Structure 1
Amino acid sequence: MKLLSSWLTVIVTLGTYVAAVPQPVSHRVKERVVAPNDWVKLGRAPSDHVLELRIGLPQPDIHLLEKALYEVSDPYHERYGSHLSKEEVDELAAPHPESLSAVEEWLASHGILESDFTRSSAKDWVKIRIPVELAETMLDTTYHVWGHIHDGDAVVRTTSYSLPEHIHGHVDLIQPTTMFARFKGLKSTLIWSSDIQEEISYPGSSLITTPSGIQVDPSCNSTITISCLKQLYNATGYNSSATNGNMLGITGYLGQYANIMDLQSFYAAQRPDALNSTFKFVSVMGGLNSQNLSEAGDEADLDTQFAFGLTYPTPGTFYSTAGSPPYIPDADTPTDSNEPYVDWLDYILSQPSPPQTITTSYGDDEQTVPLSYAIRACNGFAQLGARGVSIMFSSGDGGVGDGDPDPTTQTCFTNDGRNVTRFIPGFPASCPYVTAVGGTVNIPETAVWFSGGGFSNYFPRPPYQESAVPAYLNALPNGTYAGLYNPYGRGIPDVSAQAWNFSIVYQQQTVKIGGTSASSPTFAGFVSLLNDARLSSGLPPLGFLNPLLYTKGLAGLNDVTSGNNPGCGTEGFNATIGWDPVTGLGTPDFGKLKAIVL
């Protein structure tokens, strides 16, 4: 028996040893795309160019997170307002231990040790910095430099990559590989001060009365100010707190810097009680906020001046995330990353107490973002929502088109190789776990012509839209735009706000600016005021807004029923009674909403 036992030990040991001997690795394609029409291949990527690869591991319990998100966001559910802790969200977003081990072993087989990579808070992302040469070996692919035919931007990308067979089930995606999105700011235009009329006093003219009975100064029909928005959206006289724990966050990308001197000049003109106050600056991944006046960003100035101006003295935070699309092939560029909003998501999800309200005025055409990446980013927004954060995104400035504000120059073709004419929804606005904000103009309000709207080709219609969106579609004449949009997709936008003629201070000049980049921080400002009222009353923040907005919140919104959003050679969709893919459910009435949520 002793001899037999010895032989068994030898056999088991040999078996273990044999299993550990490296075997030839067979790769299988993980993802393949057709390069978008406006990108051309310029040449092989330099072998020593450094890529910052993100590896997304599967989230097996993400359906439980979604269930919790809807329950804590449904005003009729017993769990309403019982938001999850950071630890609870991390647990629901975490990958299986087998996936962690498998990916670690795969990386180690290429000489990448645990000390060489970083993980996200839930361990669902792994990030490594490696040269192109190693990435090509690991992913069985070839990277090229691709140039954008319109503006000369360049990125290092591939149109296909593969993974070893035994890794496929443990990895959702790896980027940057097949993603050609550029994540641009959503603004239409600037109008310089020399073109601005003097503030019109309309001597002898009467106030404008809106359909809801609100009276607004007539000058607001030519220039939007803080005062105009508070009048129009029924918040005049409401004062927020600086000490109840409420916070408002604004995200900044692509070298857009929020200038404090501009902010002070804006406050002097429009919010004098806020003079000498400022915001907290947070750098993400090395993001900067240069105070050189010549580097002030129109987008960042707009966002900070109006969002923080509406909510003063609520503490505000401006997040600047590094990462800029253009890769200059002949420059000493150490990294190439143009997906900064997931870098920001990593950061904010790692924080114990993020702001209760956050607005973002950036996005890109949905089809330029690989589906796998869009789903993972969207899951990140769900994680935030479950923790009690309200997230607003601009819906876009191209109407139903591709983001170009001029509908006559849009190219509305699919980039899947078929070149089929199609309306082009925007992302991240198409994510069902964010509140997409469209645009209006004038008083009484109509849809602004560039208001991004339509239907996602990636995300199905969410439960909260199951009555509102079909009601709109059923009222469309038969055959309207058949084949140009996905009638079963998530509808965009959810709500809207003023988006034109915003008076800001930019590089110490008074200018006007427009775009849904104005409407998103505006709507977010009023959401922050609602959160202020709730926190001051001992209630939890609103969190994910959409289940509330499509039910109880309807009574606190101003329906916008005229206007349209042309694009792709069409007149686009029309605004109408109820939800529509131009202005969503309408614009906020703060007074009514406050009564609803308290």
Structure 2
Amino acid sequence: MRSQALRGLLLIVSCASFGGAWAVPARAYAHKVKESVAPPRGWVKHNPAPDHNIVLRIGLPQPNFSTLEKHLYEVSDPDHERYGAHLSKEEVEKLVAPHQESVDLVNEWLETHGIQENDLIRSPAKDWVTLRIPIRLAEKMLDTTYHVWKHTASGDAMVRTTSYSLPSHLHDHIEVVQPTTMFGRFKRSASTISWPEDSETTASLQNLPPIVDTVSGTKVDASCNSTITITCLQQLYNAVGFVPSSEGNSVGITGYLEEFANIQDLQSFYADQRPDALNSSFEFFSVKGLLTHHLPVGGLNDQTLSEAGAEAGLDVQFAFGLSHPIPATFYSTAGRPPFIPDVGTPTDTNEPYTDWLDFILSQSNPPLSISTSYGDDEQTVPESFARRACAGFAQLGARGVSLMFSSGDGGVGDNDPDPATQQCFTNDGRNVTRFLPSFPASCPYVTTVGGTTNIPEVAVSRFFSGGGFSDYFPRPDYQKKAVGDYLAALPKGTYEGLFNPNGRAFPDVAAQSDRFRIFLSGRPVLIGGTSASSPAFAGIVALLNDVRLANNQRPLGFLNPLLYSKGVSGFNDITIGHNSGCGTLGFNATAGWDPVTGLGTPNFGKLKELVIS
């Protein structure tokens, strides 16, 4: 409850904007440090931050999250009686809602700084509060000083601090405030682009007899060893001839960093590889990335052919091409960190996938299978923030959504061949050599997809499938046996001290990830990276959801408990290759699960029987 004194104080606070002068000073509270980090490796502090606006996200505690997690695992376990009984939007929001005391105390604190309800945007469960304020006010509220920091290797700059404080009585009522100590550079998985081989080479390969994949036993066109198409994936993953037919199914792709999915390129792709899909498209949603005059400004949808995004084109062409005619959605989320304050970009924001989470959690019927090919080094995302974002993914899983993330292309951390420029060091001031897991790939509530190449399949070699062990999240029960078996077979002392053997291990699965033929700005190109494997796997999951819906069963939802139990027999085990990085050969692909290709690549013919049994 607000005190009588506070009510009196609020009555005389100036009605001027919170960037202006005060009629009375804000109520004095004793501040205590909430979070502090060492100056991050590779970043140099420059001058204090100039005047600009900053979008703060304040995370309130979710006291019943453990109950939500229990529901998530029960409805995702194929051996549990509640399997498939996903929660509603309202049920999930109730489970993650903060206590009213937390809401009231945070409101009182904000009001003492002149911030009113109409200055705020609240998440559907009211567990996040977002506000756009001058940075000088943010410094006052958080008892800190922001500086411009520059990344020496890339030249990127951002406005951050290494420590912030909160009134001591709010420490139990606020879990995290960002952007403050987050130095993530939020990047797409590294994609390589090349031009298709000449027609004579392609024609010669097409005239060769089909290749028999020794793992799956399927026959695959010889040309698939130089160019991956929809037909190649259908053949390799045993999905030839399957036509989705169920109502209520859906598939989605997330787009960030001003990547646009070009419809004309999609039509060219369909004409080339999926003619039955010609003249079909996808639904587009523009997701807010910042606040201007308290109104959301969304992601753009520039259909100029020359501005087409390679990542977005790859994602939509293969995810939607594999799953056609399942209804498809593309989400364009605004925001492009790192941030340099200038006249054209007057507002500093967080990593935009949290904006997308706010948006998608507010929707009554999100897509059932969603792929994302973006992320950060885990250590550049403060653990408090990583846990809260990961909890958002858990909410979607509990509602029946399958989330796929690419594992990244840095091997075990950094596949730069020059040891002098490798960045495999801790970010905590100790500068200790360490493998670098990725986030959100390391979140235990998502399905992380590694990369393979060639037929028969091996771990991708032209770049290296990201994989390893989280330093933030403990290994979940669903993968303890599979990962335990791998670690038990690992020669004693291998990479000791370079990774956390008790951490959540990734990737979970894999798919082809090199030489995908897409159309970009009107021309065919070949593109590769785990940014290809994630949407490809998401397309397969959309097909599996169709199988379940056709049998009057609920969608798959969070996949991992299924994959690591009865689903294992539906995967092609990849046993050749490794994921180099940090001056090492990384981990090896081997029989069973491994931190290069996970459980392996999907065999749709087997999985479609397993998911309804």
The TM-score, its normalising length taken from structure 2, stands at 0.92
Q: Is residue 39 of structure 2 the alignment partner of residue 35 of structure 1?
A: yes
Q: How much does 1:331 deviate?
A: 3.4
The residue aligned with 2:240 is 236
Q: Is residue 552 of structure 2 the alignment partner of residue 552 of structure 1?
A: no
The residue aligned with 1:265 is 268
CA change 1:132–1:404 in 2 (3 A) is farther
- Cα distance per residue 1:471-513 (max 9 Å; x no partner): 0001011100000000000001000000001011111111110
Compare 278-287 and 334-343 and name the one that shifted more.
334-343
CA change 1:209–1:407 in 2 (3 A) is farther
* SS at 2:393 equivalent: helix
1: CA distance between counterparts of 2:84 and 2:605? 21
Counterpart of 1:387 (choices 373, 393, 399) is 399
Unmatched tracts of structure 1, length 5 or more:
1-14
Q: How much does 1:150 deviate?
A: 2.5
Q: How much does 1:332 deviate?
A: 3.7
- Cα distance per residue 1:273-302 (max 9 Å; x no partner): 111111110000010110011110000000
Compare 429-438 and 183-192 and name the one that shifted more.
183-192
- Cα distance per residue 1:109-159 (max 9 Å; x no partner): 101011110100010000011001100000000011112223322211111
Q: Are the aligned partners of 1:447 and 1:564 in contact in 2 as well (CA < 8 Å)?
A: yes
Q: How much does 1:39 deviate?
A: 1.6
Q: Are the aligned partners of 1:397 and 1:405 in contact in 2 as well (CA < 8 Å)?
A: no
The TM-score, its normalising length taken from structure 1, stands at 0.95
Q: Is residue 66 of structure 2 the alignment partner of residue 63 of structure 1?
A: yes
2: CA distance between counterparts of 1:423 and 1:20? 55
Counterpart of 1:222 (choices 226, 233, 242) is 226
2:34 corresponds to which letter in structure 1? K
Q: CA RMSD of the aligned region, Å? A: 1.8
1:579-598 superposed matches below 5 A: 579-598=593-612
The residue aligned with 2:557 is 543
* SS at 1:399 equivalent: coil
Q: How much does 1:213 deviate?
A: 1.2
The residue aligned with 2:294 is none
Q: Is residue 326 of structure 2 the alignment partner of residue 314 of structure 1?
A: yes
1:88 corresponds to which letter in structure 2? E
Q: Is residue 195 of structure 2 the alignment partner of residue 192 of structure 1?
A: yes
Counterpart of 1:337 (choices 332, 338, 349) is 349
* SS at 2:358 equivalent: helix
* SS at 1:416 equivalent: coil
The residue aligned with 2:291 is none
Q: Is residue 514 of structure 2 the alignment partner of residue 500 of structure 1?
A: yes
1:206 corresponds to which letter in structure 2? P
Counterpart of 2:454 (choices 432, 439, 442) is 442
1: CA distance between counterparts of 2:99 and 2:338? 36
Q: How much does 1:573 deviate?
A: 0.2
2: CA distance between counterparts of 1:377 and 1:92? 16
The residue aligned with 2:164 is 161
2: CA distance between counterparts of 1:225 and 1:405? 30
Q: Are the aligned partners of 2:206 and 2:222 in contact in 1 as well (CA < 8 Å)?
A: no
Q: Are the aligned partners of 1:413 and 1:419 in contact in 2 as well (CA < 8 Å)?
A: yes
Q: Are the aligned partners of 1:55 and 1:174 in contact in 2 as well (CA < 8 Å)?
A: yes
* SS at 2:79 equivalent: coil
Q: Are the aligned partners of 1:196 and 1:511 in contact in 2 as well (CA < 8 Å)?
A: no
CA change 1:284–1:326 in 2 (3 A) is same
- Cα distance per residue 1:77-113 (max 9 Å; x no partner): 0000000000000000100110000000000010101
- Cα distance per residue 1:316-365 (max 9 Å; x no partner): 00000000014234434221124100100000000000000000000110
2: CA distance between counterparts of 1:399 and 1:190? 19
* SS at 1:467 equivalent: helix
Q: How much does 1:534 deviate?
A: 1.0
1:344-383 superposed matches below 5 A: 344-383=356-395
2: CA distance between counterparts of 1:203 and 1:381? 43
The residue aligned with 1:512 is 526
- Cα distance per residue 1:236-260 (max 9 Å; x no partner): 000012x601000100000001111
1: CA distance between counterparts of 2:123 and 2:580? 41
- Cα distance per residue 1:425-453 (max 9 Å; x no partner): 00000000000000001111001131000
Q: Is residue 189 of structure 2 the alignment partner of residue 177 of structure 1?
A: no
Q: Is residue 488 of structure 2 the alignment partner of residue 484 of structure 1?
A: no
Q: How much does 1:193 deviate?
A: 3.9
Q: How many residues align?
A: 582
CA change 1:479–1:276 in 2 (3 A) is same
Q: Are the aligned partners of 1:66 and 1:382 in contact in 2 as well (CA < 8 Å)?
A: yes
- Cα distance per residue 1:159-183 (max 9 Å; x no partner): 1000001111100000001101121
Q: How much does 1:261 deviate?
A: 0.8
- Cα distance per residue 1:501-534 (max 9 Å; x no partner): 1011111111110000000001110000000111
Q: How much does 1:409 deviate?
A: 4.3
The residue aligned with 1:575 is 589
Q: How much does 1:226 deviate?
A: 0.2
2: CA distance between counterparts of 1:170 and 1:474? 42
* SS at 2:104 equivalent: helix
Q: Are the aligned partners of 2:341 and 2:348 in contact in 1 as well (CA < 8 Å)?
A: no
1: CA distance between counterparts of 2:7 and 2:386? 38
CA change 1:430–1:132 in 2 (3 A) is same
CA change 1:19–1:556 in 2 (3 A) is same
Unmatched tracts of structure 2, length 5 or more:
10-25, 289-297
Q: How much does 1:197 deviate?
A: 7.0
CA change 1:109–1:479 in 2 (3 A) is same
Q: Are the aligned partners of 1:397 and 1:404 in contact in 2 as well (CA < 8 Å)?
A: no
Q: Is residue 432 of structure 2 the alignment partner of residue 428 of structure 1?
A: no
Counterpart of 2:103 (choices 100, 104, 107) is 100
Q: Are the aligned partners of 2:566 and 2:610 in contact in 1 as well (CA < 8 Å)?
A: yes
Q: Are the aligned partners of 1:71 and 1:79 in contact in 2 as well (CA < 8 Å)?
A: yes
2: CA distance between counterparts of 1:380 and 1:329? 29
2: CA distance between counterparts of 1:27 and 1:307? 49
2: CA distance between counterparts of 1:488 and 1:197? 51
Q: Are the aligned partners of 1:193 and 1:509 in contact in 2 as well (CA < 8 Å)?
A: no
Q: Is residue 469 of structure 2 the alignment partner of residue 455 of structure 1?
A: yes
* SS at 1:90 equivalent: helix
The residue aligned with 1:251 is 254
1: CA distance between counterparts of 2:74 and 2:356? 26
Counterpart of 2:412 (choices 400, 416, 419) is 400
* SS at 1:363 equivalent: strand
2: CA distance between counterparts of 1:196 and 1:419? 50
2: CA distance between counterparts of 1:479 and 1:256? 43
Compare 565-574 and 205-214 and name the one that shifted more.
205-214
CA change 1:214–1:108 in 2 (3 A) is same
* SS at 1:355 equivalent: coil
* SS at 2:526 equivalent: strand
2: CA distance between counterparts of 1:184 and 1:447? 23
CA change 1:391–1:406 in 2 (3 A) is farther
Compare 63-72 and 175-184 and name the one that shifted more.
175-184
1: CA distance between counterparts of 2:299 and 2:320? 20
Counterpart of 2:124 (choices 121, 125, 149) is 121
Counterpart of 1:300 (choices 312, 320, 323) is 312
2:157 corresponds to which letter in structure 1? A
2: CA distance between counterparts of 1:84 and 1:200? 52
